[in-house]
Amino acid sequence: MIYHTQRAEDWRDVAKKIIAALPERQGATVLRMQGTLGAGKTTCTQAIAQELGVQEHVTSPTFVLMQLYEATHPRFNRLVHIDAYRLEDSEEAAVLRLPEYFADPRTFMVVEWPENLEGLLPEDAITVKIDIVHEGRSITIA
């Protein structure tokens, strides 16, 4: 699936479509959010958070690595937002206790810079690739 955004309001529609297209899973739903700096990874995560019913303001967890938010969505009760930009190895990632979150089907996890967690994310993680195209964004879901 490919979506396009031109305005900030478009992200909410994209988030709604992403969530609606997700299959039921045995464990957590994990999105591998890819894109260059400034592509819109956190903006997309904020729109997803709104669709999940998160009441708190979602910010990039670059310096704390991970933020947890309570969600009120019928399928998901928690949003886990990880920014792995600063992680250098799997030992650093161990503090995140990822397997605990992967086991819970009511957890929705967004991982920015997933390439820094290679081999640690579930094989069935969904890739969301955001590309800057002219004044807008192209979002590819695979």
Q: Which helix (H) or strand (E) holds 72?
A: none
Q: What's residue 120's pLDDT? A: 92
CATH top class, domain 2-141: alpha beta
Domain chopping of the chain, boundaries: 2-141
Q: Is residue 7 scored above 80 in pLDDT? A: yes
Query: What are the pLDDT digits (tens) for 16-70?
Result: 999 998 888 899 999 999 999 889 999 999 999 999 999 999 988 877 899 999 9
- The pTM of this model reads 0.91
**Given a cut of 80, is residue 106 above it in pLDDT?**
yes
CB neighbours of 93 closer than 8 A, spacing ≥ 6? 84, 87, 116, 117, 120
Q: Which of 132, 124, 123, 128 is nearest to 140 (CA)?
A: 128
* C-alpha distances in Å from residue 115, one per residue of 24, 29, 86, 119: 25, 17, 11, 9
